[in-house]
Amino acid sequence: MKKLYSLALTILISTVGFAQFPTTMEIDTTWLPDEVVMPASPLKMQVIFVGGYDMVQTTSTYGNPAGEAVAKQWHDFIGFTPDNSSNDLGWVSVNHEMIVPNDSIGDGGGMTVFKVRWDQATDSLKIVPQTLSDGRSGDFFNVDFVNHTGETGMNCGGIASIVDGRIWTAEEWFRGSNQDIADRDASDFTIGTGTANGISSPAGFPGFNGETISKYQNYNYMVEIDPREAVAVRKQYNWGRQAFEGGVIMADNKTVYLGEDGTPGWFSKFVADTAGVFTSGDLYVYKHDAAGANWVQIDNTDLNKMLNYKDEAVSAGATMFNRIEWVTMDNNTGKVYFTETGRDNPGSRWSGEHAGGAVHAPHHIARATAQGTDADSSDYEDFYGRIMVYDPVTDEVTVFLEAGPAMPDPPTSPYPYRALSNPDGLSVFYNQGNSYLLIQEDLNGTSHGRVPAGVQNRTCEMYMLYLGIQNPTIDDLRRISIVPKGAEITGAIGIDDNIILVNSQHPSTSNPFPFNNSLTYAITGWNGVLSDLERWNPQVESSFNFYPNPTTRELFLIEPMDVAIYGVDGVRVKVLRNVKYVDVSDLTPGTYFVKNSVGETKKLIIR
């Protein structure tokens, strides 16, 4: 009967045509409407490191003495190295995706490392002060690249080994000449030396030491660092010179999968001869249509071939991807996931390599065919990108989740209910033995429904996806919204069941400090939350049109409708149309009134 009643109301509304929400409403204090209480979320956010604000300890660089400097910004990848020998949690490594000259930190980009522990008394993370063996002492440390491996730059993604927490940083943004770097010293670089002439690198690279290359050719590697001592260890010349964005070390501590951010971008594999020793082993590039195993070996003992990896991949007939970003692995299944972020019109960007022998991935051929064109044509579009999966058992790369707006049919909304566009950051978070993908967007644009119509801001969001779901769709993504507005998440990593560390870069909008800076923060309190999350859909046992979920700060509606929210002063503060939820996290805690399109009003208390 109730259903019939609401149907009748619907018909009534459609004749009225428009849900009128007066801009002010009279609040009758004697009248007590139904009350909805929205408790604060059990999740907590804690800022731990602010770029451009916190001080890092630096080594003696370019003849300047060791000391202290304001940390660089543009946080991207975040790595974690557990400390198994003390009660501290471990070391955190943060990438700075930039190129800027700096007298004490070093030219280019860089990394900052620090150590954290969990403080029971305050239920929060604390930074552990350290004294390193080079004598530096403090909270935050600049990773010294200059004196060890030569400068680094545009540090994007990276690798955090799940075996032992070893960390590599990825040097993205392919440099074609010395003009493309911001180094004060652009003279030729000899492998095995730092740039500060006379200071020799402790490790160098076996087999290539003493070889001289142009300075720009010393960029675009995976670079191992030691987060405990805040120094770079070596550039991984034997993995090829590529516009690296991400990679992953497998549980055998021998196999490494690597992705390149380019059109075309290659998916590569390195297999070490000895577990844990990554200076010697074989390198392969993925070729889905190869005879036998889907990998073609590239000679990585020839430095020239390593410097010109792309030529080798093309002549190997490798499979071309459209900008591979982060690579990760689910330790529960051994499957490798990577983001293929997409590029609007890739046609002319890879047609030359196609002609040279490289091949299109099957999903690009299928997509182009469905669009009535071919993958080399300027008509072929790849606006949204996708998440790919590589299964070592079948040796196949396939599409795991195609991104894009989930368009309602028939059209009902000015914006699709969910949209994943240009996925970039990717990692696996484990909670109570279950695996969840953490996915971060980095939008290539605002066109084609990547943001709500009429919006110019690139709003990049973080999503969580339960990997237990078979054949997931966009509908299975859960958006993680972080207070406050606008902070753009670039990287995230779970360090235990309870804590996710998150990096965010400058938001495009104004925000109160420190949220208008690059920052690293922790979201804690996941224990208990995810058991609710696993049910995904909150229990709906209500005759009300809207209700809170016990663990959220959103208002849920049983069916899409128009709602308005008024403050206690009766002034309208929010209007949302045709929605199934309302995010009220930007409203200050207090009392509000929610009105729906049929005039029902409820008191809303936000805690």
Question: Looking only at residues 283 through 322 of this chain, which bind other proteins when binding is defined by CB under 8 A?
Answer: none
Minimum CB separation of residue 99 from other proteins in Å reads 6
- CA dist 344 to 52, 398, 447, Å? 33, 20, 10
Q: Of these, 142, 253, 552, 596, which contacts other proteins (CB under 8 A)? A: 552
With CB under 8 A as the rule, give the number of residues binding other proteins: 131
Q: Distance (Å, rounded) from C-alpha 160 to C-alpha 90?
A: 13
Identify which of residues 127 and 196 has a Cβ nearer to other proteins in the complex: 127
Q: Token digits for 326? A: 């982060």
**Among the candidate windows 205-213, 257-265, 277-285, 359-367, which touches other proteins by CB under 8 A?**
257-265
* 3-state DSSP assignment of residue 76: strand
Minimum CB separation of residue 425 from other proteins in Å reads 14
Q: Is 550 in the site for other proteins (CB under 8 A)?
A: no
Minimum CB separation of residue 166 from other proteins in Å reads 25
| Nearby residues of 409 by Cβ (< 8 Å), 6 or more positions away | none
152, burial (CB in 10 Å: exposed 0-12, middle 13-18, buried 19+): buried
Minimum CB separation of residue 19 from other proteins in Å reads 5
| Nearby residues of 594 by Cβ (< 8 Å), 6 or more positions away | 36, 546, 555, 563, 564, 565, 566, 601, 602, 603, 604
Q: Is 482 in the site for other proteins (CB under 8 A)?
A: yes
Q: Distance (Å, rounded) from C-alpha 413 to C-alpha 458?
A: 20
Q: Is 105 in the site for other proteins (CB under 8 A)?
A: no
Chain positions 156 to 175 lying near other proteins, rule: CB under 8 A, are: 172-174
**Among the candidate windows 83-91, 225-233, 329-337, 403-411, which touches other proteins by CB under 8 A?**
403-411
Identify which of residues 211 and 497 has a Cβ nearer to other proteins in the complex: 497
Identify which of residues 144 and 172 has a Cβ nearer to other proteins in the complex: 172
Minimum CB separation of residue 558 from other proteins in Å reads 7
Q: Of these, 89, 477, 487, 489, which contacts other proteins (CB under 8 A)? A: 477
Q: Distance (Å, rounded) from C-alpha 503 to C-alpha 497?
A: 18
Q: Of these, 215, 235, 269, 343, which contacts other proteins (CB under 8 A)? A: 343
Q: Quick check: 450 and 384 in contact, CB under 8 A? A: yes
Q: Token digits for 437? A: 């993908």
DSSP 486: T
Minimum CB separation of residue 551 from other proteins in Å reads 7
Q: Token digits for 236? A: 């991984």
Identify which of residues 392 and 572 has a Cβ nearer to other proteins in the complex: 572
Amino acid identity at 588: T
Q: Is 88 in the site for other proteins (CB under 8 A)?
A: no
Residue 353: CA count within 13 A, CB half-sphere: 28
Identify which of residues 234 and 574 has a Cβ nearer to other proteins in the complex: 574
Instruction: Give one DSSP letter per residue of 263-301, joined into a string.
Output: SSB-EEEEEEEETTEEEEEEEEEE-TT-SSSSEEEE-TT
Q: Is 529 in the site for other proteins (CB under 8 A)?
A: yes
* 3-state DSSP assignment of residue 134: coil
Q: Of these, 144, 171, 229, 381, which contacts other proteins (CB under 8 A)? A: 381
Pairing of strands 462-466, 434-441: antiparallel
DSSP H/E element including 309: helix 309-315
Q: Distance (Å, rounded) from C-alpha 372 to C-alpha 384?
A: 18
Q: Of these, 200, 209, 511, 601, which contacts other proteins (CB under 8 A)? A: 511
- CA dist 163 to 85, 276, 331, 383, 479, Å? 15, 9, 10, 36, 29
Pairing of strands 319-320, 359-360: parallel
Identify which of residues 496 and 532 has a Cβ nearer to other proteins in the complex: 532
**Among the candidate windows 158-166, 281-289, 354-362, 450-458, which touches other proteins by CB under 8 A?**
450-458
Pairing of strands 396-402, 386-391: antiparallel
**Among the candidate windows 250-258, 290-298, 360-368, 554-562, which touches other proteins by CB under 8 A?**
554-562
Chain positions 132 to 161 lying near other proteins, rule: CB under 8 A, are: 139
Chain positions 3 to 62 lying near other proteins, rule: CB under 8 A, are: 10, 13-14, 16-23, 40-41, 43-50, 52-55
Q: Token digits for 121? A: 């008394």
Chain positions 419 to 438 lying near other proteins, rule: CB under 8 A, are: 422
Minimum CB separation of residue 378 from other proteins in Å reads 7
Nearest to 418 by CA among 472, 483, 340: 472
Q: Of these, 76, 97, 144, 261, which contacts other proteins (CB under 8 A)? A: 261
Instruction: Give one DSSP letter per residue of 345-365, joined into a string.
Output: --HHHHHHHHHTT-EE-HHHH
User: 10 Å Cβ neighbour count for 125?
Assistant: 21
Identify which of residues 84 and 537 has a Cβ nearer to other proteins in the complex: 537
Q: Of these, 134, 180, 282, 497, which contacts other proteins (CB under 8 A)? A: 180
Owner of token pair 């002549």: 315
**Among the candidate windows 197-205, 305-313, 426-434, 548-556, which touches other proteins by CB under 8 A?**
548-556
What phi and psi, each to the nearest 5 degrees, are found at residue 435? Answer: -110, 135
**Among the candidate windows 29-37, 85-93, 248-256, 508-516, which touches other proteins by CB under 8 A?**
508-516
Identify which of residues 142 and 190 has a Cβ nearer to other proteins in the complex: 142
Chain positions 563 to 592 lying near other proteins, rule: CB under 8 A, are: 564, 572-578, 580-581, 583, 585-586
Q: What separation, in Å, do the N-terminal and C-terminal C-alpha atoms of the chain show? A: 35
Q: Of these, 164, 188, 311, 379, which contacts other proteins (CB under 8 A)? A: 379
Q: Of these, 115, 166, 228, 323, which contacts other proteins (CB under 8 A)? A: 323
Q: Quick check: 156 and 76 in contact, CB under 8 A? A: yes
Minimum CB separation of residue 18 from other proteins in Å reads 4
Identify which of residues 102 and 255 has a Cβ nearer to other proteins in the complex: 102
